[in-house]
Structure 1
């Protein structure tokens, strides 16, 4: 699968996806929140605050703040790890899966529009 995009085309694709996403009644996520959400959904579990902080090279307090917001939106949930009650697992939700599937569709549509405009 080869994609041959110039930087300005990639930025225009991203712009198209972001513009469409803010037009919808969906949560307006920061780049950090989106990176965290994508990591939880696209990499194999289990996910912990410590593991996510390491994977993204972001401080644990920053991960916790982002998780707080994502949890408020219902895009992730926290669950106490039954094998280590001091640890909290970060889990996917149906709402989060739907949000990311729709966002993926937005990107695909933006790519088609960008491709057709070339």
Structure 2
């Protein structure tokens, strides 16, 4: 069932969800890191540094720095493409999937609470 929110309500929902995610998880991702993580998990693979940079309109070093942090947090892994050693393939992790699942659950719960 579609929910109609005003811009202020939508921002309030986003604020509540992101605040709660940071409090519960402790890993506070930047908006760019979250966009990369969502791209990796919602769009079918393969994902490369080059492809992510193109999709988000940023440079490869920007993606690499974000992936360094996200890798340290256990949200993604990277490996060289065996077929083309110039490419770096970004892979999902169970921890990354759980992080986004919890985020999705928070969005659903807060959205229901806001429209009730």
TM-score interval (norm. to shorter): over 0.9
CA contact (8 A) 2:50 2:87 kept: no
Query: Residue in 2 aligned with 1:29?
Result: 29
Contact 1:17 1:106 in 2 (8 A): yes
- Which secondary structure does the structure 2 equivalent of 1:91 belong to? strand
Contact conserved, 1:53 with 1:63, CA < 8 A, in 2? yes
Structure 1 consecutive aligned stretches of length 4 or more whose deviation exceeds 2 Å: none
Specify the alignment match of 1:85 in structure 2. Answer: 85
Secondary structure of 2:86's aligned partner:
coil
The aligned residue for residue 49 of structure 2 is: 49
Deviation at 1:51, TM superposition (A): 0.3
Alignment of 1:1-118 (within 5 A): 1-116=1-116
Secondary structure in structure 2 of the residue aligned to 1:24:
helix
Following TM superposition, by how much is the alpha carbon of 1:56 offset from its aligned partner in structure 2, in angstroms? 0.8
Query: Which sections of structure 2, spanning at least 5 residues, go unmatched?
Result: none
Q: Separation in 2 of the partners of 1:7 and 1:79?
A: 40
- Please tell me the root mean square deviation across aligned C-alpha atoms, in Å: 1.1
- Corresponding residue pairs, total: 116
Q: Is the 8 A contact 1:12 1:114 kept in 2?
A: no
| Residues 3 and 115, structure 2, Cα contact 8 Å, conserved in 1 | no
SS at match of 1:5: coil
